[in-house]
Structure 1
Amino acid sequence: MVNTFLAHDLLWGMTLEQLPADAPSWVIESISAGQPVVVRRALSAPDHVAVGVRGRLREQRYAALMSFASISRCVTPEALCQVSIDRDLPAVHALHQLRPMLDVCGWAWGVSGSAGFELASGVQALHEGSDLDLILRTPQPLERSRAQGLVKVLDTAGCQVDMQLQTPFGAVALREWASPARRVLLKNATQAGLVIDPWNPQEHAA
């Protein structure tokens, strides 16, 4: 079966039997509660997908593998664009503020991180100091000048907003692509490396 799931997708159906025997208690609690896991960038067997389990604390992240057969539901970051929650938090306000501007940017975008997790699951994951994590699907190159303009838009929000550009070859941070740096860090399922062009990673810096 071809892995059609992308990094940041949320999956339901993970079972305790798929966890290693030494999995931390908080991981067992999360899976027992029926919480989703998030697809991560890593290689896996053809009938499995690499996922991460989230805990209540920021440092509680656990890498695992989930079988395709157990997946009961998938929610993509894009599916969360218009989902709202009634919580008085900077990240929630930032999403409300940025949504109209992102809707007309010409690219598919989505919500990931703690905000995406809470929007999709209803489990409170955001707090007063949470960043807002977003993704932008960029199958075609995004000019660096346009990236700089997008950063200016994100910086009008009332909290830190981090956006990842999802290229056909992996992900790169918008802020890094908008910077003067000649090379930027591109992350994919097998490695993370510095490239000149995230849409043409074979072009190496001298």
Structure 2
Amino acid sequence: MRTLAVVGTAGGVGTTTVAALAFAGLRHHPHGAPMLYARPSAHLIDRVGDDQVPALNGELAVWDAGVHTPESAAALLEAGGCVLAVAAPATPLGVADAARMLSTISELGEDALAGVAVVLSQVGGRGRAATPHAVPSPLLVRMPYDRALAQPGPLPPVTALARRTQAAAHAWQRRAAALLSLPT
């Protein structure tokens, strides 16, 4: 089974939203939707809305894995079967935490980062997000602040998001499909 593990650099950084966005982009995929896994406190099904899909692909999964240290995230990759999405806030501390995670993962070898994406989410409606110089741009997806994503409960359809957020959500969904080796 190939699993997209969404790991957070801290609590409340959006792992559940990032996992739910990935699933939303894959739930109608011609090869079938991935299975969903989450820690009990994540309420991933609440964020997804429901887990009804036209077809299920039992070889794929999206896992809201919660907070991980750089070492435990690297261990997921090293064990095999997992690819990673690192969820972090687009703040100086969040970028530094994501960079530490990438640095530890890169110690696994030059190809280790090929199975990683970093989703930096702007955490407030105002102000500039931190510039993520420490995160290589091929790995980076920047999610702008969107009031609709910040609300609890089921995610709205991507088309209901602000234009910049729609573009970011679609970029993340394409990257998630690529990490799971699904044709887009």
Task: Determine which structure has greater relative contact order: mean sequence separation of CA pairs < 8 Å that are 6+ residues apart, divided by chain length.
Answer: 2
TM-score between the two structures when normalised by the length of structure 2: 0.32
Larger Rg: 1
Larger helix proportion, structure 1 or 2?
Answer: 2
